[in-house]
């Protein structure tokens, strides 16, 4: 399609280039733009201040860190009410941005997770009865490893939990599972589009290590062809993602042994970074996502 011809539609990508932790790096965003244009769309990068312009578009693609209580969710709800095709959809955000809701969903559907408790001011001491230390403490609404702590003793546990409960109403407490890496399985429309091993940062127990100044360090990563994945990992990832929907998800899994794996969480806006998640699939990832969005647009255009 020539630059002067009428576009098939208009695609908006919500993206904050100034955010420290972004779901996509600038080169990946450029690839999304290129593939959107290839499919006949006018592609615009928009920000939170462009909410009033959403009626101009046919598709909204979120490439910002989502949260139930910020502008991303509000813009998604507006876009859905206007009839736009959207990734991430509001239901996915509601589930993926609430770790308690996720764990209950996994439990109800027999998907293995680490031993987990939801702690509030009334049941603080229950964890020591059900979970052996060390403990992993999580803000149920956190992301990018923010608000996640490892504590070694009961005394340390109580100190951290009391401090967290002064700011949030509940804390997720999990057993600690030692692994050298976490699996991140990228799923789109109930199909695996990438698989990565995210290694722990050197000398640390997380894949992302934050310091007090707000800076961070990430561990190494390596892509694995989906056909080479352990069956238990691909099975759990697909089962977990299907409970949320048919959109774009990143399922985090720990596999301490060959025949033992646990789903940690599902992310509704998984990282798609040029040079990392696309290391094996290349441009196919961007093409698949744009074609999926185009398919959603066509369904809405025909009232289906």
Asked whether 139 and 168 are in contact (CB, 8 A), the reply is yes
196/169 same-domain check? no
pLDDT in tens, 54-81: 999 999 999 999 999 999 999 999 999 9
Q: Return the pLDDT at 210.
A: 59
DSSP 125: G
Token pair for residue 195?
Answer: 């698989």
Q: pTM to 2 decimals?
A: 0.92
155/190 same-domain check? no
Q: Return the pLDDT at 303.
A: 66
% of the chain exceeding 90 in pLDDT: 82
Helix (H) or strand (E) holding 198: strand 191-199
130/188 same-domain check? no
Q: How many CA atoms lie within 13 A of 184 on its CB side?
A: 25
Terminal CA-CA length for the chain: 27
- How many domains are there within the chain? 3
132/143 same-domain check? yes
Residue 57 maps to which CATH number? Answer: 3.40.50.20
238/194 same-domain check? yes
pLDDT in tens, 157-176: 999 999 999 999 999 999 99
pLDDT in tens, 78-107: 999 999 999 999 999 999 999 999 999 999
Where in the sequence is the domain holding 247, given as residue range(s)?
178-267
Residue 166 maps to which CATH number? Answer: 3.30.1490.20
Residue 232 falls within a domain, yes or no? yes
Domain boundary among 131, 150, 175: 175
Burial classification of residue 249, based on how many CB atoms lie within 10 Å of its CB (0-12 exposed, 13-18 middle, 19 or more buried): buried
Q: Which residues contact 126 (CB under 8 A, 6 or more apart)?
A: 117, 119
């Amino acid at each position: 399609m020539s630059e002067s011809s009428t576009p098939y539609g208009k695609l908006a990508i919500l993206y904050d280039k100034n955010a420290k932790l972004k779901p996509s790096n600038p080169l990946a965003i450029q690839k999304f733009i290129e593939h959107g244009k290839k499919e006949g769309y006018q592609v615009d990068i928009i920000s939170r201040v462009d909410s009033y312009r959403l009626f101009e578009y046919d598709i909204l693609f979120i490439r910002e860190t989502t949260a139930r209580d910020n502008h991303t969710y509000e813009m998604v709800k507006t876009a859905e009410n206007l009839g736009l095709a959207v990734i991430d959809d509001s239901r996915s955000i509601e589930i993926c941005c609430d770790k308690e809701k996720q764990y209950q969903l996994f439990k109800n559907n027999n998907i293995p997770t680490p031993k987990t408790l939801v702690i509030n001011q009334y049941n603080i001491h229950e964890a020591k009865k059900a979970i052996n230390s060390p403990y992993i403490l999580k803000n149920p609404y956190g992301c990018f490893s923010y608000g996640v702590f490892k504590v070694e003793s009961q005394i340390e546990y109580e100190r951290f939990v009391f401090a967290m409960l002064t700011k949030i109403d509940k804390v997720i407490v999990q057993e600690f599972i030692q692994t050298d890496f976490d699996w991140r399985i990228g799923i789109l429309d109930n199909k695996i589009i990438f698989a990565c091993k995210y290694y722990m940062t050197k000398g640390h127990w997380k894949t992302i290590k934050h310091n007090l100044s707000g800076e961070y360090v990430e561990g190494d990563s390596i892509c694995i062809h989906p056909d080479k994945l352990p069956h238990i990992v691909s099975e759990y990832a697909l089962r977990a993602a299907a409970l949320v929907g048919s959109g774009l998800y990143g399922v985090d899994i720990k596999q301490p042994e060959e025949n033992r794996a646990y789903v940690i969480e599902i992310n509704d806006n998984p990282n798609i970074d040029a040079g990392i998640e696309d290391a094996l699939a290349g441009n196919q990832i961007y093409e698949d996502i744009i074609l999926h969005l185009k398919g959603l647009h066509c369904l809405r255009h025909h009232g289906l």
